[in-house]
Amino acid sequence: MAEVHAPHVVVLTSPGAGHVGPVAELATRLAAHHGFTTTIVTYSNLSSPTHSSALASLPPRLSTTALPEVSLDDLPADAHIVTRILTVVRRTLPHLRALLRSLLDAPAGVTVFLTDMLCPAALAVAQELGVPHYVFFTSNLMSLVTLLYTPELARTTTCECRDLPEPVVLPGCLPLHGADLVEPVQDRSNPVYPLVIDLGLDYLQADGFIVNTFDAMEHETLETFKELSDKGVYPPAYAVGPFVRSFSDEAAKHHCMRWLDGQPDGSVLYVCFGSGGTLSTVQTAEMAAGLEASGQRFLWVVRFPNDKDSSASYFGTTTHGDDPLSYLPEGFTERTRDAGLAVPQWAPQVEILDHCAVGGFLSHCGWNSALEAVAAGVPLLAWPLFAEQRMNAVKLSSEHVGLALRVRAREDGVVPREGVAAMARELMVGEKGAAARKKARELRAEAQKASVPGGPAHQMLAAVANTWKCAAGPAVGDGGV
């Protein structure tokens, strides 16, 4: 008898905590519920200890490997974050091909190859080697639809997106003003623009999309996309979310959790711009003054300001050697000591949002943060910075979802202190905030229904996993050829 091997999935993840974390969660679920072994492939380029933390304590059936570093010396120092990532993806394709060949030659083989949403160029390698190949899309389906549309948009228009005279209306999606489309397509002269157009084309090579979303958030989009995929327009999409990190006993020991224990229920506004979001020096000062003037309790994760790049913290690196709290206005922490807590660099977000003292979340609208807010039943104050966050803010503040209120910036892009204060009060104690809080509780219930054992997300992932196993044939059940 040939040795029996479990089905083996290889998952390629791009850098960034918002990508590595969901990949680790997907791999864990495939192992725990569907009998897969998993190899998670990362990049030596652009990695950081922060991003690696999600991979630090994986179950025994999961392993990791990193593609070798490639040179980026020819890229300008101010190259767009997506330019850097997509350049690394393309330059490491020979290394990925060698890795997949070696894994195919191993006894377990490769049942299926999954690539993160920023790495669809890698699909061609799996296709070349005859391996089923899917995209794990860590954002929402509407975002995927718009990226699939970008090649057509580039072909049929000549102006910048922000200057489009009419909203972009895509099947099953909310109308989007051009300025709300993904940030990398906002400047045709930037080298990132053609790279994102290629991204949209590369997606079409996929056998399917595994999407971190659920029906209550995107019912119409999911239904319409299924109609299009049934007609062969797009590969099929499978809603397997929401993925939210499990609670950590270590994270629960963070000093901010003890501070929250002393606050009244629903009284604290949590302020955080994700793992990569960065405010300017001026905006940091206005934020501080606004929070102070609002009269609301707050917990603010403060990062070093950057006047050039709103995603400056994305790779987890900083040239500063001091404390980010030193960039706050003089006397701020002392004056707000009774009502607020400023935490440098990082705080345990999932645990914070689930704490009974937290009643609102001022967020950059990264999709992981949005789903974590939904899971906790906490409404949002939407403050998008980069990537697809403006689009997410449109969705989250729409009548259908109703989870978020929008902040409004001046023409120079700064949200003044008066605006910060007014919106913080509205979310925490105003009528619009109360309506968003009610909707947040409803969405939390829907998210729980989607993700319980035997629920729609579990069933969908099980159906896809069974498809992979069946496609692998005897190789999965009896050791194969």
Pick the residue with more confidence: 480 or 368? 368
Task: Name the nearest CA neighbour of 24 among 33, 15, 16, 13.
Answer: 13
Q: Name residue, tokens 């003890």.
A: 258
Give yes or no for a contact between 479 and 3, defined as CB atoms under 8 angstroms apart: yes
| pLDDT of 119 | 97
Question: What's the rounded Cα separation, in Å, for the pair 293 and 29?
Answer: 45
Closest CA to 365 of 383, 350, 348, 353: 383
Pairing state between β 133-137 and 112-116: parallel
Residue 15: pLDDT band (50, 70, 90) is confident
- Does the domain spanning 251-446 belong to CATH 3.40.630.40? no
The strands making up 133-137's β-sheet, listed across from edge to edge, are 62-67, 37-43, 8-12, 112-116, 133-137, 209-211, 237-239
Please write down the HEC assignment for all residues of 192-249. HHHHHHHHHHHHHHCCCEEECCCHHHHHHHHHHHHHHHHCCCCCCEEECCCCCCCCCC
Alpha-carbon gap, residue 359 to 171, rounded angstroms: 35
Tokens encoding 268: 């604290």
- Side-chain-facing half-sphere of 313: CA atoms under 13 Å: 25
How does residue 316 score in pLDDT terms, banded at 50, 70 and 90? low
Q: Is the pLDDT of residue 126 over 90?
A: yes
Assigned fold of 8-245+449-475: Rossmann fold (3.40.50)
User: Does 1 have pLDDT greater than 50?
Assistant: no
For CA atoms 256, 261, 262, 268, the dihedral sign is positive
How far, in Å, are 144, 379, 454 from residue 442 at the CA level? 25, 11, 20
The pTM is what?
Answer: 0.94
pLDDT at position 479 over 90: no
- Enter the DSSP assignment of 232: T
Give Cβ neighbours of residue 27 (< 8 Å, ≥ 6 apart).
9, 11, 36, 38, 40, 58, 62
Report the share of the chain in percent with pLDDT over 70.
95
Q: What is the pLDDT of residue 57?
A: 76
Model confidence at 481: pLDDT above 50: no
Whose CA is closest to 423, among 260, 269, 281? 269
Q: How far is C-alpha 398 from the geometric centre of its chain's CA atoms?
A: 19
pLDDT digits over 166-212, tens only?
A: 999 999 999 999 999 999 999 999 999 999 999 999 999 999 999 99
Confidence of residue 30 (pLDDT cuts 50, 70, 90): very high
Q: Using CB atoms within 10 A of its CB, is residue 154 exposed (0-12), middle (13-18) or buried (19+)? A: middle
| Lookup result for tokens 């979001």 | 277
**Window from 42-51, 255-264, 365-374, 419-428 with minimum mean pLDDT:** 42-51
Domain ranges of the chain: 8-245+449-475, 251-446
Query: pLDDT-based confidence at 245, cuts 50/70/90?
Result: confident
Q: What's the pLDDT score for residue 92?
A: 98
Nearest to 205 by CA among 162, 165, 239, 235: 235
- Site of tokens 């897969």: 36
Q: Which tokens hold the place of 141?
A: 């389906």
| % of residues, the chain, pLDDT over 90 | 87
Model confidence at 252, pLDDT cuts 50, 70, 90, reads confident
Is the confidence at residue 402, as pLDDT, over 50?
Answer: yes
Helix (H, G, I), strand (E, B) or coil at 480: coil
Q: Are 427 and 405 a contacting pair, CB within 8 Å?
A: yes
Beta bridge mates, 360 = 269
Q: Provide φ and ψ at 460, rounded to 5°.
A: -65, -45
pLDDT digits (tens, 9 = 90+) for 56-95: 778 888 999 999 999 999 999 999 999 999 999 999 999 9
Distance CA 439, CA 448 (A): 14
Instruction: Give yes or no for residue 13 having a pLDDT over 50.
Output: yes
Any idea what DSSP says for residue 50? Answer: H
Name the band, by pLDDT with cuts 50, 70 and 90, for residue 152: very high
